[in-house]
Amino acid sequence: MNTFVVLVEDHPGVLTRVSGLIRRRGFNIDSITVGHTETAGVSRMTIAVEADEFGARRIEANLYKLIEVLRVDNVTRRPSIFRELCILKVKTTPETRAQIFQLASVYRARIIDVSPESLVIEITGNEDKVQSLIDVLDPYGIVEMARTGRLAMLRGTGTASKPPEDEQDFGAAKAEEDLISHSV
């Protein structure tokens, strides 16, 4: 699994162009998340794609061909933090409610809504932790579930997605990357 952090201009249709490009190259997107960044007019995509090393380089090089793409970083092999948010609605009965509360506590999940016949649970963590809670709660009856997909951020002072503050530096860095990307 390769994880790309992609900075894009915040324009309508950019998500379609990015996902369409990856699809046309024959890769399946495992997850994609998009949100605003600390810079106005710039959105950050975290894209998880199953690809070998050559395929990952091909994806990165082709993303730079889109005019709205400002920067692409493959953070897969860099020291990074990967997280996912999941919200689950689980059926409850008076007999199972306490068990579900205990399970949520074990996973450090939060109960964010309570009704007579269901609980809504929020969990944040790596994909294994989220999937493990889903597997444990499945026998109780998951009524509804929403997952964000993978989010990634480099550890320490490094930033995967912030363009240089000086626009000229960013242009030089992009030109340097273009030389690399065209060789693939």
Residue-wise pLDDT for 2-32, tens only, equals 999 999 999 999 999 999 999 999 999 999 9
CA distance 151 to 48: 9
Say which residues have a Cβ less than 8 Å from residue 124's Cβ, sequence separation at least 6.
83, 84, 85, 86, 130
Say which residues have a Cβ less than 8 Å from residue 116's Cβ, sequence separation at least 6.
none
**Residue whose tokens read 């399946």:** 28
- How do residues 47-86 score in pLDDT, each as one tens digit? 999 999 999 999 999 999 999 999 999 999 888 899 999 9
Give helix 127-137 / helix 97-106 axis angle, nearest 10°: 170
> What are the beta bridge partners of residue 85?
124
CA distance 83 to 19: 21
Model confidence at 173, pLDDT cuts 50, 70, 90, reads very low
Tell me the pTM.
Answer: 0.76
What radius of gyration, in Å, describes the C-alpha atoms of the chain? 20
Nearest to 134 by CA among 114, 112, 116, 109: 109
Exposed, middle or buried: residue 132 (CB in 10 Å: 0-12, 13-18, 19+)?
middle
- How do residues 140-170 score in pLDDT, each as one tens digit? 999 999 999 999 988 887 776 554 454 444 4
